[in-house]
Amino acid sequence: MSTNYKSKKPIKPIKLDTSDEMIAERRGGSGSMPKNMPKWMSLTITKIDLANKWIGNVVCWIIIPLTFTMVYEVLARKLFNAPTMWAYDMSRFFYGALFMLGAGYALSKGVHIRADFLYRNFKTKTQGKIDFWLYLIFYFPGLSVFLYMTTIFLQESIMRGEKGMDTAWMPYMWPIKSCLWFGIVFLLVQGISEIFKSYWAATQGKWPGEKK
């Protein structure tokens, strides 16, 4: 602890307010499930969270080919005056796949963009009720429609042999549209875990697996 050279009084360290960043992480289900929780519910939450954690651990490796693509393009363009036809498309594809396939894992860790400046001051039961009804009324219906529309887009892309028109390379589009489809599925599955967590918080006043 540092001191002020004039008054010689101890200066208290500043305590950073990380409430907004940590509010969702506290209820990420990383800890053990409550003993009084029904076994089917605790197993569902645990299995879904572990599945999306495994998916997230695999998907994060996409950053390596994404980085290689960008570095190769920059070096080829700047040092050898030999830009590629594929780097632009592949960088978009890799980034899109990384973003969409990891969305379910991100939701399980509470790192999606949130506006917690009011929410964080509510009681846990109130937070649980808000999340429960928002998942039920908006999240699942919205993503279900999105999944339906994406299924149509993906089917048409495969049947037509759709290609990208932004570059002369013209890659097929169905692989990246498949990532979009799978990403929505992962989000829907993770949503089941989240709605169970929200229900438990709304009724018990504590998030399952919450780390104090």
Q: How many domains does the chain have?
A: 1
Residue 28 within a domain: no
Residue 151 within a domain: yes
Residue 47 within a domain: yes
What percent of the chain lies above the pLDDT cut of 70?
Answer: 84
Residue 209 within a domain: no
Residue 42 within a domain: yes
Residue 112 within a domain: yes
What percent of the chain lies above the pLDDT cut of 90?
Answer: 69
CA atoms within 13 A on the CB side of 197: 30
User: Is the CA virtual torsion 124, 126, 129, 130 positive or negative?
Assistant: negative
d(CA 57, CA 142): 27
Residue 103 within a domain: yes
pLDDT score, position 62:
96
Is the confidence at residue 26, as pLDDT, over 80? no
Residue 26 within a domain: no
pLDDT score, position 77:
92
Give the domain extent around 84.
Answer: 36-204
Q: Tokens 């939450």 appear where? A: 45
Is the confidence at residue 16, as pLDDT, over 70? no
d(CA 48, CA 46): 6
